[in-house]
Structure 1
């Protein structure tokens, strides 16, 4: 054991024997063995414990005093486990202040095992919480191949993977054999070539120190070491071979260590020459003297006390003295309870007393122990023989002047309430200057910011990934998201795709430039049409107005006026009424226009045919025929629209798919077949008018209206033929603009081709407005 632990053991026994309230009239003795991790010495110690000391015969005892009560040990986990199997046979309680082996918490396999240190499961939990706190997801592991360490590595691997972390490498070395040059080179190469900034070094103190002798790990810049070998730092062992190249980049987990005032005084006053011999006593004692001098404690290291050169000693705690004290006092209190209960029979023999008992009886009192230790803290074992305590997280700092400063920067207490079990003071941690960011980062890939998601690959570990932007319609508001969240239908990601925002509702309004321009042209051409109608009414008795049926001209002009006005139905927020009126009003009014043009064309053709002598077509020249044509052709369109509106009428529709980030408020046509039937019927009327007008274009007349109707139908059909593919390729307000443009353009074409030439003659060439220009040459 370390010499501090040896002194703590002696001090605790002396304090108990001086205490009149604890084990009165009974002297607690001790017998010390040094095994030094040697299997042969372990066997020899077992033989001595269970036999007469110098005979080595098991089960043979002739002692009359100084009975073996229990075994307190601070051995490595594997040795402690092997010894426990023998102690189980003899029912001797075994109390360890060093073994943290998780397996030994099994009360069935190790019913007589107790310990005053936590089991390694809590140590693994503390390391995992530290990794999670600093978001270290890319780590390496170096560990010895002993059973305890390997089990801990499996626990760590599972926990790291559950926290979305990865292990870059795991280097395992022998805890029994010396490291070969090849193995040393491999570990060195792995450390230097690794990309991780955090390495977990998991093994016990002796093994850890042996590896540190071979590999200058703590001199590697840019690496954070998480260690579990507490003794090397707590006892100031690094002072022996202090190297100024050692980096300040270590966080070590140590069991909670507390200095006991009585023990501190004992160390300051004890005379080492009165203690048992120890081959490293000289080295230890000079360190102690130097430490006490640094603390301004007046103590003279006499010349007869052994000395060796030692530059500094900065131990913050006295080894595992707290755990040793708890082990000795737990045994003393259990023995005290057993004696008081009468399970131990006191026997008087001269001036000495001893307790005659069976060892398994003490086991019952250890299980039910509930007392206060020397610091007034609860001391008890759970059903597995474990003592509930936590860990310190220390940060050893090697100063430029050769001093070593050890600061407790955090801790882990598994028994504390959730949220309070893990504490860390980041400001107290001294990081190496090589780190550009503190705390240092250790990730295989940089964090994906909000608006991005991870893209993993089967060839790479799960924490090695690329960052790609969230797909259209999705957003992420946290870092390192595995997937983005799809926005609701009425919402869309913002520019950075970090949150969902309401989509902009888009429709053609009067305020925007397109809406304003179309409104202006609709009203302008409406007024032009009204002016032409006024001219025709004013000159209603002139030959050019009366030609080709004056009433049809009036009907055509009135319908064109309403065509220009109906285009205004397409501007503004669509609702149920406007959606119904848009297409039906447009279809019916345009059918009246085209019916009037068809009637005018037919009348023109009939008029020239009727001028022949004996022609029977003169009876078809009356207004009744033309009105019948207009009424019947328009009525068909009215019926089509009524069927459309009664079966599947248009309705307002929120189109959320056509444009990214925009809700298109538009009119759904309801029945698309009915819509194209309306357009198809208009096309039929236009084609018929075109054909009839084209056949009559060369009739001998000074003012042949058929030529102008032919040209107007060419314009009309060109507009609407180009309208259909354009209409189908657009959406939202631009679809509305296309249809409005088609209505305005075709209406303007009819107005310009048919009526502008007549107005030109009426106003600019009144001399041509007489019958001689309308007669056949």
Structure 2
């Protein structure tokens, strides 16, 4: 259609380009399109015509200016698109200006198209050299946003960069980390899939396979890709492909029993009604251009009379293919179109206007160019718009105007950023199959790139998945690692393929699919599942333990035995055996043994600051008191024997006062050692976190190790000294000689405490305390039994031996 300003249009109306093998003996014929008409592309081109007629009838946009158009068919072929681009740039007029540049009489001021990214790239490189702006309604390749290569390219459809991000977030949202990927072997598919794989990598998604194909590939190659999909372990397949390419692949998969796969589609094919006839794809989900309403378009598309159809070769072919008749035919076997055909009853993508998406992109592209022209040739004065249709309009002026367009049409906003791209907004659509067998495209959510991060992706309706299931399918290489385990990657496999390993001892993990386990705080320990930390079990020798009860029973029994023995001795204090064995030291020894038995009780129970100081000092002092008494008794035996020798009066130097002084002196030295220990570095309670990792040992730290070993060393020194003296006196012939019993008791005492040292050092936790208590009780019982048991036996059961005559007789 002629007009004041001509807008070009390029659409893939036919399916194929007529191929000719040139023999170079004749001039090659002009390229032409052939094959069946694509009703959807025809609808795009008719929407352009509708928009131009709507603008020409408008009183607000370009009043008194008539827009014309040249619409060409590129049949999705790069050679044909290049041919059309030169036609739009040069025109058919052979007239030339007097200057050296080419004729401008037939040049369009802007171009709408092409539908594919690859043809759009080819066309942009041609018309871009002449500063002719190109506004595509369907070319989504992110590469076209590069203004250095494509400075005159604009589009009303979002870039695939946003689509790739939306698809990656869609896959991540449903927990799919193991997917297959197929793509068209074209600029659209290759660049789109590259952007998707990059976004998927950021989201932690792994790809089992990534294959490309094209509709012109051999059947063997397409069959090979179908077999890869069948044999794959991933349930989800992301397809970044053109509708024509997907048609060939799905037809190949339908020949054999198609596998159960969840298809994720790019906007190019997910809304194609032809592909929705493949029932095994029901449940497919993908991103789609926003659905829209264009008032009056349906009536315009259906307003086709036979005369109007006959005036256009394209409409003629569409009509004949749609109704299987011929407008003009000389063949009697062919049905002639008689005018009874009703296009309103035709089920075709051309008449399907309930899901207008890409059509609206073509519609908005026309209005974007019209607004750019309006801003150059029109002025508004006193609210009146004046347009000069005789203005010599250059395509570069339209190019500048397109960069600044900002308007709203039918509630849809139109503007371009610095890259010539619109604001990205996608609908999330789902193929839902009804009981009648019809698959319907349902909107289930949206993706809005203009919203803040985290709010861009939203689902607001139930989704039907593969095979009509309402449960989200699972597509993972490895099942999630539950809390308490960590991921270990499999060698040579993607990061989504891993094994789940139990957390090591002492470590936990409360996060699903964590690659690491973490140690609990020092005073905490993991539970059995190793998914939480709990306070460590505190361990000490408590009174309610069986071991503590046994030791306490022996301690109390020993103390009672010492008291009973003292009572027996006190009752028979006038008998010869009691008087002959130094009754005063015997009572003091029994008192100290009672304290020795009872001091072992201070080692039981939770250690505290006072109990730690008390248990070691009480033990050290009472044992020295005990050994001092035994030492005094041993010295008395030796001195008594020496005193029987003629002329020896040594007993006067070791009478009762000297015996008391000896006991007090030896004990006082231990008191001084203990006092220094408590002043310099006393024992204190501490939490032992190193012996056992899973529990805390409450124990008494020694404070000063020198103080502890000094106390033990002093006890050991007295015991050895006492043992030596007892050995020297063991063969004295008198019946009152108790040196033999002292020798045995000291032998037991020394043996116990010598074995105590390695046992004390090697015993862990509360058993260290138990060993110490056992040593105290064993040595105390040794003294008690060897020194006092024989005397008590004679007192109670052999009174005939408890006489002065018996004691004075020779052994």
**Could you tell me which of 108, 115, 120 is aligned with 1:80?**
120
Correspondence for 1:14 = 53
Correspondence for 1:408 = 443
Correspondence for 1:699 = 732
**Could you tell me which of 491, 497, 512 is aligned with 2:530?**
497
Q: Deviations over 1:55-112 (max 9, x none)?
A: 599964474xx86221000332122122112222211111001111212223343222
**Could you tell me which of 358, 361, 365 is aligned with 2:394?**
358
Please give the secondary structure, in 2, of the residue aligned with 1:33: strand
Matched, 1:725 2:758: yes
Correspondence for 2:425 = 390
Q: 8 Å contact 2:82–2:122 — kept in the other structure?
A: no
Correspondence for 1:191 = 229
Alignment CA distance shift 1:695-1:651 (3 Å):
same
Alignment CA distance shift 1:44-1:524 (3 Å):
same
Alignment CA distance shift 1:735-1:208 (3 Å):
same
Q: 8 Å contact 1:566–1:582 — kept in the other structure?
A: yes
1:652-663 equivalence runs, <5 A: 652-663=685-696
Correspondence for 1:464 = 497
Q: Deviations over 1:648-687 (max 9, x none)?
A: 2211111223234432222111122432332233233333
Alignment CA distance shift 1:682-1:249 (3 Å):
farther
Matched, 1:369 2:405: yes
1:68-107 equivalence runs, <5 A: 68-107=108-147
Q: 8 Å contact 2:215–2:244 — kept in the other structure?
A: no
Please give the secondary structure, in 1, of the residue aligned with 2:745: helix
Alignment CA distance shift 1:505-1:397 (3 Å):
same
Please give the secondary structure, in 2, of the residue aligned with 1:330: helix
Alignment CA distance shift 1:217-1:78 (3 Å):
farther
Matched, 1:236 2:252: no
- Deviation of 1:208 after TM superposition, in Å, equals 2.8
Alignment CA distance shift 1:354-1:429 (3 Å):
farther
Please give the secondary structure, in 2, of the residue aligned with 1:774: helix
Moved more, 441-450 or 415-424: 415-424
* Rounded Cα–Cα distance in structure 2 between residues aligned with 1:720 and 1:423: 78
Correspondence for 2:368 = 330
* Rounded Cα–Cα distance in structure 2 between residues aligned with 1:568 and 1:366: 96
Matched, 1:576 2:609: yes
Correspondence for 1:294 = none
Q: Deviations over 1:422-459 (max 9, x none)?
A: 112462333326x7x92122222211111222223453
Correspondence for 1:546 = 579
Q: Could you list the runs of 5+ residues in structure 2 that have no partner in the other structure?
A: 1-11, 13-40, 325-336
Alignment CA distance shift 1:355-1:155 (3 Å):
same
**Could you tell me which of 466, 474, 477 is aligned with 1:444?**
477
Q: Could you list the runs of 5+ residues in structure 1 that have no partner in the other structure?
A: 288-299, 348-352
* Rounded Cα–Cα distance in structure 1 between residues aligned with 2:782 and 2:673: 26
* Rounded Cα–Cα distance in structure 1 between residues aligned with 2:339 and 2:774: 112
Please give the secondary structure, in 2, of the residue aligned with 1:445: coil
Correspondence for 2:628 = 595
* Rounded Cα–Cα distance in structure 2 between residues aligned with 1:489 and 1:73: 68
Matched, 1:167 2:207: yes
Correspondence for 2:174 = 134
Q: 8 Å contact 1:345–1:356 — kept in the other structure?
A: no
* Rounded Cα–Cα distance in structure 2 between residues aligned with 1:333 and 1:304: 39
Alignment CA distance shift 1:301-1:718 (3 Å):
farther
Alignment CA distance shift 1:758-1:264 (3 Å):
farther
Q: Deviations over 1:690-711 (max 9, x none)?
A: 3433443343233542232233
Correspondence for 2:242 = 204
- Deviation of 1:517 after TM superposition, in Å, equals 4.2
* Rounded Cα–Cα distance in structure 2 between residues aligned with 1:369 and 1:588: 101
Correspondence for 2:259 = 221
Correspondence for 1:709 = 742
Moved more, 205-214 or 580-589: 205-214
* Rounded Cα–Cα distance in structure 2 between residues aligned with 1:654 and 1:720: 27
Moved more, 156-165 or 360-369: 156-165
Matched, 1:485 2:518: yes
Q: 8 Å contact 1:607–1:621 — kept in the other structure?
A: no
Alignment CA distance shift 1:729-1:685 (3 Å):
same
Matched, 1:251 2:285: yes
* Rounded Cα–Cα distance in structure 2 between residues aligned with 1:661 and 1:423: 47
Q: 8 Å contact 1:223–1:249 — kept in the other structure?
A: no
- Deviation of 1:480 after TM superposition, in Å, equals 1.0
* Rounded Cα–Cα distance in structure 2 between residues aligned with 1:227 and 1:447: 26
Q: Deviations over 1:478-505 (max 9, x none)?
A: 2111212322222222332222222333
Alignment CA distance shift 1:273-1:641 (3 Å):
farther
Superposition RMSD in Å: 3.3
Q: 8 Å contact 2:116–2:188 — kept in the other structure?
A: no
Correspondence for 1:423 = 458
Q: Deviations over 1:213-237 (max 9, x none)?
A: 3444996434222121534x42311
Alignment CA distance shift 1:56-1:686 (3 Å):
farther
Q: 8 Å contact 1:50–1:60 — kept in the other structure?
A: no
**Could you tell me which of 655, 666, 691 is aligned with 1:633?**
666
Correspondence for 1:116 = 156
Alignment CA distance shift 1:286-1:673 (3 Å):
farther
Alignment CA distance shift 1:444-1:153 (3 Å):
same
Correspondence for 1:380 = 415
Alignment CA distance shift 1:122-1:403 (3 Å):
same
**Count of matched residue positions in the alignment of Structure 1 and Structure 2:** 749
Q: Deviations over 1:729-754 (max 9, x none)?
A: 33333322222222223212221221
- Deviation of 1:138 after TM superposition, in Å, equals 1.7
Q: Deviations over 1:393-446 (max 9, x none)?
A: 22223456442222122221101233331112462333326x7x9212222221
Q: 8 Å contact 1:205–1:229 — kept in the other structure?
A: no
**Could you tell me which of 89, 93, 97 is aligned with 1:50?**
89
Please give the secondary structure, in 1, of the residue aligned with 2:735: coil
- Deviation of 1:126 after TM superposition, in Å, equals 0.5
Please give the secondary structure, in 2, of the residue aligned with 1:30: strand
Moved more, 407-416 or 571-580: 571-580
Matched, 1:178 2:217: yes
Matched, 1:320 2:358: yes
Q: 8 Å contact 1:229–1:254 — kept in the other structure?
A: yes
Moved more, 70-79 or 210-219: 210-219
